[in-house]
Amino acid sequence: MNEIWESYGLSPELVNKLQASEIEQPTPVQAAAIPALISGNDVSARSQTGTGKTLAYLLPALQRVDTASSSLQVMILAPTQELAMQIVRVAESYGEPIGVRVQQLIGGASVHRQMEKLKQHPHLIVGTPGRIHEIVASGKLKLHHIRLLVIDEADQVFSLGSTKEVETLLKGMVRDRQIAFFSATRPKPMEEVELRWMRDPQVIEVTSDQNIASRVEHYYLVCDKRDKVDTARRLIRLLEPAAALLFINETDEIANYEAKFGYEGFVVETLYGDADKQRRAATLTRFREGRCQLLLATDIAARGLDIADLPLVVHLDPALDADHYVHRSGRTGRMGKPGTVVSIVTPQQLFIMDKFSKQLGIDLQEKEMYRGRLWNPEELQASRLHPRNGSRHNSSPGTTNNWGAGAAVQADGDAPSSGEGAPRSGNPMGISSRNKAAGKSRSTGGASKPVKAKAASKPNAPVKSARQLKREKKDKGAPKWLKAKREGQGDNQES
């Protein structure tokens, strides 16, 4: 048994489940939130996305359920259907060993079927505010036994205009219920609800030195707006990630981008708010299983999606603000894994990168793609002015360790691709072994054959006319007196 998890007062079944999932140590937000929630305190927790917030509230929620009772005791709200379903899967996995019944109540599914399943008396429900409010208003869901309300991605719930629905639900619960908000940021609407409804909340802030997402590298590339798709294509060919999540701001543009990336040979799927629930779920399943390399999404995908080992996030359009940048970028580098975030901006959007860097305290570097590498502009300029021994492919400080020396090398900056399927494993970005071998042979010259340089053409060589070429052909082997006669005739004719 794990003494750390046991010290929080978790049941042996939950501790065994954690060990079976190979979770030996709590993350900072888990270490702070679990004891506070088990003690019955209201909690307002802010932590970078991808730091284990789901288990930080689910473990105490499951621990406090009385399975001998058939009443509903815990409610968890999420801003999107996708996040709600993720929470349901985790809650079912950890709740089954201790006999906790879990049910989802999300929009986009049959409300009548959900009402029928409530007759099975779930102990814990997970859903979106609109659907739960609808069922409560119909009289099919009673709230007076709920002892704990958790809101995940609380800033987004309140920013989407669900404040009135949440407060209506709170009014239907007992006065001594416990409230917990989990989020990466704390906007004003969320702060106001905390002041109105929480009782002396314990505020949990995961500081930057505790931030598990510190292994994520942030870059930006500058190009004209019309060149964004081509820039993204070159970037993906260069890095060859096993999968990449690409964000845009406008739903109206999603079909245009999908067509362009499809034309470039990528297997691409789309995720946006107007798509029905079944299509969105099927799209995420294909992306998680590696059946498509690129997922093109609006901000609907930025909230709480847990895609294991996602190596690359690309902002085709810059995020609307720093909060949106945090949530988008948080899809990679989850639970301490390495990741890369690249924003593609126009010269007019450069000020946004400077603003995000200052507001978020991150090292947001400009990069340029040149000869199969990502360079800092100053290093690239120095390399062009002072080439090293005439070699094009010496390693440089501008190359990041996330994709290594295996990145392909070509004069136009594009990386040769091994196909549009899922690249081979064995490195963080999924770079193919063929490209690694190419990079090695070109940089070291070990196994590759020397390439003979073409003979330099003579400078200022005169261009001969057809008449001159014909004359030279006739003169071959002729006696000197005949050559002289022909030359005299030729000069007379040309004059």
Q: What per-residue confidence (pLDDT) applies to 126?
A: 96
Residue with tokens 């979770």: 23
Q: Do residues 319 and 290 share a domain?
A: yes
Average pLDDT over residues 111-131: 94
What distance in Å separates the CA atoms of residue 25 and residue 15, rounded to the nearest whole number?
Answer: 11
pLDDT in tens, 60-81: 999 999 999 999 999 999 988 8
What distance in Å separates the CA atoms of residue 493 and residue 495, rounded to the nearest whole number?
Answer: 5
Residue 75 falls inside a structural domain: yes
pLDDT in tens, 435-456: 443 344 334 444 444 444 444 4
Residue 298 falls inside a structural domain: yes
What distance in Å separates the CA atoms of residue 145 and residue 188, rounded to the nearest whole number?
Answer: 30
Q: Do residues 189 and 332 share a domain?
A: no
For Cα atoms 446, 448, 453, give the angle at the middle one, nearest 5 degrees.
115
3-class secondary structure, 80? coil
Q: Do residues 157 and 229 share a domain?
A: no
For the chain, the farthest-separated pair of C-alpha atoms sits apart, in whole angstroms, at: 124
Could you tell me the CA-to-CA distances from 25 to 28, 95, 362 in Å, in that order? 9, 20, 26
Q: Do residues 318 and 434 share a domain?
A: yes
Residue 462 falls inside a structural domain: no
Residue 334 falls inside a structural domain: yes
CATH classification at residue 286: 3.40.50.300
- Other Cβ atoms within 10 Å of 316 Cβ, number: 19
Q: Do residues 190 and 220 share a domain?
A: no
Name, in order, each residue with C-beta under 8 angstroms of 353's C-beta and a sequence gap of 6 or more.
220, 318, 343, 345, 364, 366
CB contact at 8 A, 79 and 301: no
The percentage of the chain sitting over the pLDDT mark of 90, rounded to a whole number, equals: 43
Residue 461 falls inside a structural domain: no
pLDDT in tens, 374-410: 888 888 888 776 665 444 444 444 444 444 333 333 3
Given 399, 425, 444, which residue is the final one in a domain? 444
Q: What per-residue confidence (pLDDT) applies to 268?
A: 93
Q: Do residues 65 and 106 share a domain?
A: yes
- Give the residue, 296 or 384, on which the prediction is more confident: 296
pLDDT in tens, 210-251: 444 567 899 999 999 999 999 999 999 999 999 999 999 988
Q: Do residues 206 and 98 share a domain?
A: yes
User: Does residue 13 have a pLDDT over 90?
Assistant: yes
DSSP 442-466: HHH-SSSPPPPPPPPPPTTPPPPPH
The DSSP code for 411 is T
pLDDT in tens, 312-348: 999 999 998 887 888 888 888 876 678 999 999 999 9
Q: Do residues 155 and 221 share a domain?
A: no
Average pLDDT over residues 462-491: 63
Given 184, 210, 236, which residue is the final one in a domain? 210
Phi-psi region of 457 (alpha: psi -120 to 50; beta: other; left: phi over 0): beta
Identify the domain containing residue 76 by its residue range.
3-210
Chain center to CA of 335: 14
Phi-psi region of 268 (alpha: psi -120 to 50; beta: other; left: phi over 0): beta
CB contact at 8 A, 241 and 307: no
Average pLDDT over residues 298-325: 83
Residue 478 falls inside a structural domain: no
Q: Do residues 179 and 220 share a domain?
A: no
Given 210, 226, 248, which residue is the final one in a domain? 210
Query: Total structural domains in the chain?
Result: 2
Q: Do residues 187 and 290 share a domain?
A: no
What distance in Å separates the CA atoms of residue 45 and residue 180, rounded to the nearest whole number?
Answer: 8
User: Does residue 295 have a pLDDT over 70?
Assistant: yes
The DSSP code for 423 is P
Residue 143 falls inside a structural domain: yes
Helix residue spans in 2-52 (DSSP H)? 3-7, 12-20, 28-38
Q: Do residues 148 and 272 share a domain?
A: no
Residue 479 falls inside a structural domain: no
Q: Do residues 122 and 140 share a domain?
A: yes
- pTM for the predicted model, two decimal places: 0.60
CB contact at 8 A, 211 and 51: yes
Q: What per-residue confidence (pLDDT) applies to 69?
A: 93
